[in-house]
Amino acid sequence: MSDMTFDKMIHQMTPAIYESLKQAVSLRKWPDGRRLTDEQTELCLEAVMRFEAENNVPEASRVGYLEQRTCGAGATGEGVSPEMAGLAKDATRD
């Protein structure tokens, strides 16, 4: 039996392996085209997330990152009209 543990594997993972696992999770396929099982997907995703955390991968580059936006404008919401924000004029008040 191998001495390789999950933690040891994460510490020895290269950026190339990380990118390959990240792509496999994204496509749900191995590079050779075989589909990942649910268990493989879960383990690969955990490995990718652990690699990102332990190697200080920038937040915007991490798997599952979603940029915070407001109504299609920048994060501050500047430039969004009340109508676009769903705050249309109340027709009962004139």
Q: Could you read off the pLDDT of 68-92 as tens digits, one per residue?
A: 765 555 555 566 666 666 655 555 5
Q: How many domains does the chain have?
A: 1
DSSP 8-state secondary structure symbol assigned to residue 29? B
Query: Which residue matches tokens 């915007």?
Result: 60
C-alpha 63/C-alpha 23 separation (Å) is 10
Q: Identify whether 12 is part of a domain.
A: yes
In-domain check, residue 85: no
State the maximum Cα–Cα separation within the chain, in Å, rounded to a whole number.
79
In the chain, the percentage of residues whose pLDDT exceeds 90 is 43
pLDDT tens string 29-77: 999 999 999 999 999 999 999 998 888 888 878 777 777 765 555 555 5
Q: Check pLDDT > 80 for residue 23.
A: yes
Question: Does 87 map to a domain?
Answer: no
- The count of other CB atoms within 10 Å of the CB of residue 28 is 13
Structure tokens at 60: 């915007």
- Report yes or no on whether pTM surpasses 0.75: no
- Domain coverage including residue 13: 6-55
pLDDT of 48: 93
Q: Residue 21: in which H helix or E strand, if any? A: helix 15-27
User: Is residue 41 one of the residues assigned to a domain?
Assistant: yes
